[in-house]
Amino acid sequence: MTQAAALLAEYVLTELSRPDGPAGPGSGLPLNRRLYEALRRALLDGRLGPGDRLPSSRELAQDLRLSRNTVVAALEQLGAEGYLVSRVGSGTYVHDQLPRVRAGTRPPPRADAAHLPGLSARGQGLVQHHSARDLEIQPFTPGAADFSAFPVALWQRLQNRHWRAARPEMLDYTTSGGYGPLRRAVADHLRVSRHVRLEPEQVLITTGTQQSLELCARLLADVGDTVWMEDPGYWGAIKAFTACGLRLHPVPVDDEGWAPPPASAPAPRLIYVTPSHQYPTGAVMSLARRHALLARAAEANAWVLEDDYDSEFRFDSAPIASLAGLDDDGRVCYLGTFSKVLYPGVKLGYLVVPRAWIEAFRQAHYDLHRPGQLPLQAALAEFIEMGHFATALRRTRQTYAERRARLLQALAPVLSLPGVQITGAAQGLHLCLRLPPALDDRAIAATLAAEGISVRPLSAYALARQDLRGLLIGYGYAQPALIAPCAQRIVAVVQQALG
Average pLDDT over residues 169-181: 85
Beta strands in 59-104 (DSSP E): 84-87, 91-94
Band (pLDDT 50/70/90 cuts) for residue 102 is: very low
Average pLDDT over residues 221-250: 94
CATH architecture of the domain 152-389 equals 3-Layer(aba) Sandwich (3.40)
pLDDT at 103 over 50: no
Which of 273, 274, 276, 271 has the alpha carbon at shortest distance from 193?
A: 276
The dihedral region occupied by 282, where left means phi > 0, alpha psi between -120 and 50, and beta the remainder, is: left
pTM: predicted TM-score of the whole model, two decimal places: 0.74
User: What's the CA angle centered on 276, arms 298 and 335, to 5 degrees?
Assistant: 70
CATH architecture of the domain 139-146+391-498 equals Alpha-Beta Complex (3.90)
In which order are the strands placed within the sheet that holds 430-434? 421-423, 430-434, 470-474, 456-457
Q: Quick one: pLDDT at residue 445?
A: 92
Percent of the chain's residues with pLDDT above 70: 91
Q: Quick one: pLDDT at residue 105?
A: 39
**How many residues in total does the chain contain?**
499
Residues 79, 88: Cα–Cα separation, whole Å: 14
The dihedral region occupied by 428, where left means phi > 0, alpha psi between -120 and 50, and beta the remainder, is: left
Residues 35, 74: Cα–Cα separation, whole Å: 6
In the chain, where the domains are located: 3-110, 139-146+391-498, 152-389
Residues 19, 4: Cα–Cα separation, whole Å: 25
Which of 386, 376, 371, 389 has the alpha carbon at shortest distance from 190?
A: 389
Residues 112, 276: Cα–Cα separation, whole Å: 36
Written as one string, the DSSP assignment of 247-289 is: EEEEEEEETTEEPPPPTTSPPPSEEEE-TTS-TTT-----HHH
Average pLDDT over residues 123-142: 60
Ranges 117-131, 333-347, 385-399, 401-415: which has the least confidence: 117-131
User: What's the CA angle centered on 289, arms 284 and 293, to 5 degrees?
Assistant: 115
Ranges 71-75, 88-92, 279-283: which has the least confidence: 88-92
Q: Cβ distance 302 to 269 under 8 Å?
A: yes
Residues 491, 410: Cα–Cα separation, whole Å: 8
Band (pLDDT 50/70/90 cuts) for residue 172 is: confident
Percent of the chain's residues with pLDDT above 90: 52
More confident residue, 1 or 379: 379
pLDDT at 165 over 50: yes
Rg of the Cα trace of the chain?
Answer: 25
Average pLDDT over residues 267-274: 97
Q: Quick one: pLDDT at residue 218?
A: 95
pLDDT at 495 over 50: yes
Contacts made by residues 121-126, CB under 8 angstroms, sequence distance 24+ = 121/245, 122/242, 122/243, 122/244, 122/245, 125/242, 126/239, 126/242, 126/243
For the ranges 19-28, 187-196, 205-214, 365-374, the maximum mean pLDDT occurs at 205-214
List pLDDT tens digits, range 480-493. Answer: 888 999 999 999 99
Average pLDDT over residues 56-76: 90
Which of 366, 357, 367, 305 has the alpha carbon at shortest distance from 336?
A: 305
Average pLDDT over residues 217-237: 95
Residues 281, 117: Cα–Cα separation, whole Å: 36
DSSP 479: -
Separation in Å, CA 311 to CA 275, 308, 320, 494: 10, 6, 8, 30
- Pairing type for strands 430-434 and 470-474 reads antiparallel
Band (pLDDT 50/70/90 cuts) for residue 393 is: confident
Separation in Å, CA 434 to CA 134, 151, 468, 485, 496: 21, 36, 8, 20, 16
Average pLDDT over residues 56-73: 90
pLDDT at 269 over 80: yes
Band (pLDDT 50/70/90 cuts) for residue 138 is: low
CATH topology for 3-110?
Arc Repressor Mutant, subunit A (1.10.10)
Q: Quick one: pLDDT at residue 319?
A: 64
Average pLDDT over residues 465-474: 94
**Burial classification of residue 197, based on how many CB atoms lie within 10 Å of its CB (0-12 exposed, 13-18 middle, 19 or more buried):** middle
Q: Quick one: pLDDT at residue 107?
A: 39
Q: Quick one: pLDDT at residue 320?
A: 73
Which of 198, 227, 220 has the alpha carbon at shortest distance from 364?
A: 220
More confident residue, 194 or 147: 194
Q: Quick one: pLDDT at residue 494?
A: 96
Helix 235-243 with 209-220: angle, nearest 10 deg: 40
Beta strands in 285-359 (DSSP E): 303-307, 332-337, 349-352
Band (pLDDT 50/70/90 cuts) for residue 114 is: very low
Backbone angles phi, psi at 495, to 5 degrees: -60, -45
List pLDDT tens digits, range 320-330. Answer: 778 999 998 99
Q: What average pLDDT is seen over the chain?
A: 86
Q: Which residues pair with 332 in a beta bridge?
A: 304
Average pLDDT over residues 275-288: 92
List pLDDT tens digits, range 16-62. Answer: 888 777 788 877 788 988 898 889 888 877 788 888 889 999 999 99
Residues 338, 391: Cα–Cα separation, whole Å: 14
Q: Cβ distance 28 to 453 under 8 Å?
A: no
Average pLDDT over residues 433-442: 95
